[in-house]
């Protein structure tokens, strides 16, 4: 007898909802923040440089600039790349809207290129097709934690004199052809939001090997002012100049103290994410109605997300129904992402549906399974049990 779905009144696999992602805070994280609070600097103090150096070292980049969010990091990168009115920036639609919102912030025009059918990262061949004389930059996303096609994208952007920005919000700790992500694009941006690999509450970082780009990002986070308060104090001077229109995108010392404590655990967090992803693969691989995420050869995936694709022709239910059935079982599935230009704001700007058919078709079939380092064996078993129960129920 098949079990009755919770959606239809049967007993759920779990009584409390398992979220799709969640931060992992331990006693030493809390202690680090308390110590920072007692240390005299709340913001623009020495902890910021310490986190910047630690991240730069971890990702193999010469420079790192800490900012107040991953969105601020993208905004600073687009500013540093010199994007302004009339400039086109190519990016994938299968991402969080911030990836292209920052182009709009600077008066530029996002141009969407489709994703690869297998890895769901930006398709370099489609980027090539969307180039115009006004193209200035490409923003690629390491979707779900898998590195984008860096060799092809770097080749293309160098040939055309474009800036390559990598939105690596999903991919802290990932590697491409044996090298960590961090300085493989001109500018790489990170997010420390609670669902990401390490958190500072809110926070972000730009890493780069280019000293000039790093200096532009550092000015941008501080109103476009060339020196910060600590430097002025050290010089005993009041004079400063605002040379660009920047923002207050500073990260506080307490957040950086949390970031340092978290970063020390990145390897353990990554290991756990990879172990959960492997468990899912082993336990769900035989379900014909489900496609598991494809991983390109010679990359090390950071597994921010575990997105599965429903084979709708093998199911008697659509994604909405499968989603609701899993939620009813206590599994906090999610969908990453609604194609950015489908959002009403982008529709009002004049973007039409149909621009990127692969991303649109994939969106109708996507489901993200829970994946975060604090998941225990029971949690993983619950997800597997619920997915098998629901997909089994609707399979035909
Ligand atoms: C999280 C995320 C961002 C934005 O980061 P915030 O820190 O939330 O501002 C940008 N791009 C992608 C792909 C993300 O997942």
Judgement on whether residues 238 and 277 belong to the same structural domain of the protein: no
Instruction: Find the 355 Cα to ligand 1 centroid distance in Å.
Output: 23
Structural domain contains residue 20: no
CATH code, 338: 3.90.1150.10
83 and 154 part of one domain: yes
Q: Given ligand 1 and candidates 78, 98, 304, which is best to mutate, with the most ligand atoms within 8 Å of its CB? A: 98
Instruction: Please check whether residues 39 and 120 belong to one and the same domain.
Output: yes
What pLDDT, in 10s, does the model give residues 269-305?
A: 999 999 999 999 999 999 999 999 999 999 999 999 9
19 within some domain? no
Domain assignment present for residue 335? The answer is yes
CA gap 197, 126 in Å, rounded: 30
Quick check: 357 and 40 in contact, CB under 8 A?
Answer: no
Q: Rounded to an integer, what is the distance from CA 365 to the centroid of its chain?
A: 20
**What does the pLDDT average to over 365-380?**
97
Q: In angstroms, rounded to a whole number, what is the distance separating the alpha carbons of residues 92 and 120?
A: 9
Among residues 207, 238, 263, the one where a domain terminates is: 263
232 and 104, same domain (yes or no) = yes
Residue-range definition of the domain harbouring residue 150: 27-263
1 domain residue, yes or no? no
Question: Are residues 276 and 167 both part of a single domain?
Answer: no
Q: Cα separation of 345 and 12, whole Å? A: 38
Residue 174 shares a structural domain with residue 136: yes
Residue 238 has pLDDT above 90, yes or no: no
Range with the poorest average pLDDT among 38-42, 184-188, 326-330:
38-42
- The verdict on 182 and 106 lying in the same domain is yes
Judgement on whether residues 255 and 311 belong to the same structural domain of the protein? no
Name 85's Cβ contacts closer than 8 Å, sequence gap at least 6: 107, 108
How far, in Å, CA of 6 to CA of 9, rounded?
Answer: 5
* Same structural domain, 306 and 230: no
pLDDT single digits (tens) 127-157: 999 999 999 999 999 999 999 999 999 999 9
Whether pLDDT at 233 is above 80: no
Does one domain contain both 156 and 249?
yes
pTM reported for the whole predicted model: 0.97
Measured distance CA(290)–CA(385) in Å, rounded: 14
Cis peptide before 247 (omega within 30 of 0): no
Pocket of ligand 1 (CB under 6 A): 69-71, 95-96, 98-99, 141, 167, 169-170, 191, 193, 204
Residue whose Cα lies nearest atom 2 of ligand 1: it is: 169
Same domain, 54 and 161: yes
Asked whether residue 202 is domain-assigned, the answer is yes
Q: 218, 237, 263: which is the final residue of a domain?
A: 263
For residue 115, the cross-strand partners are 122
Q: pLDDT class for 1, splitting at 50, 70, 90?
A: low
Contact between 209 and 215 under an 8 Å Cβ cutoff? The reply is no
Last residue of a domain, one of 240, 263, 286: 263
Query: Domain total for the chain?
Result: 2
CA 107 to chain centroid, in Å, comes to 23
Residues designated catalytic: 196
For the beta carbon of residue 291, count every other beta carbon within 10 angstroms.
15
Q: How many CB atoms lie within 10 A of CB 107?
A: 11
């Amino acid at each position: 007898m098949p079990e009755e779905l919770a959606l239809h009144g049967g007993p759920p696999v779990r009584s409390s909802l398992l979220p799709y992602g969640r931060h992992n805070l331990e006693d030493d994280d809390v202690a680090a923040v308390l110590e920072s609070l007692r240390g005299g600097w709340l913001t623009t103090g020495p902890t910021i440089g310490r986190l910047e150096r630690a991240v730069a070292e971890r990702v193999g980049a010469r420079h790192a600039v800490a900012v107040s969010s991953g969105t601020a990091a993208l905004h600073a990168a687009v500013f540093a790349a010199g994007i302004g009115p009339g400039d086109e920036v190519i990016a994938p639609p299968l991402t969080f809207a911030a990836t292209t919102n920052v182009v709009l912030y600077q008066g530029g025009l996002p141009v969407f290129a489709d994703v690869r059918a297998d890895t769901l990262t930006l398709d370099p061949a489609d980027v090539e097709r969307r180039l115009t004389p006004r193209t200035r930059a490409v923003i690629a996303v390491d979707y779900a934690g898998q590195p984008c096609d860096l060799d092809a994208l770097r080749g293309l952007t160098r040939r055309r004199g474009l800036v390559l920005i990598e939105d690596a919000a999903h991919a802290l700790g990932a590697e491409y052809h044996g090298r960590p992500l961090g300085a493989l694009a001109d500018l790489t941006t990170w997010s420390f939001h609670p669902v990401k690999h390490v958190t500072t509450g809110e926070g972000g970082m730009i890493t780069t090997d280019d000293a000039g780009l790093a200096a532009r990002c550092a000015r941008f986070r501080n109103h476009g002012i060339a020196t910060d308060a600590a430097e002025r104090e050290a010089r005993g001077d009041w004079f400063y100049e605002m040379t660009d229109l920047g923002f207050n995108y500073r990260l506080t010392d307490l957040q950086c103290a949390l970031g340092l404590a978290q970063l020390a655990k990145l390897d353990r967090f990554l290991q756990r994410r990879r172990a959960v992803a492997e468990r899912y693969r082993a336990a769900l691989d035989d379900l014909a109605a489900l496609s598991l995420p494809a991983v390109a050869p010679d990359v090390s995936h950071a597994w921010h997300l575990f997105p599965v694709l429903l084979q709708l022709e093998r199911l008697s239910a659509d994604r909405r129904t499968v989603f609701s059935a899993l939620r009813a079982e206590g599994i906090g599935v999610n969908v990453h992402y609604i194609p950015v230009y489908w959002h009403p704001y982008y529709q009002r700007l004049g973007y039409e549906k149909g621009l990127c058919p692969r991303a649109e078709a994939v969106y109708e079939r996507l489901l993200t399974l829970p994946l975060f380092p604090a998941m225990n064996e029971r949690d993983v078993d619950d997800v597997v049990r619920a997915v098998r129960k629901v997909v089994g129920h609707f399979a035909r």
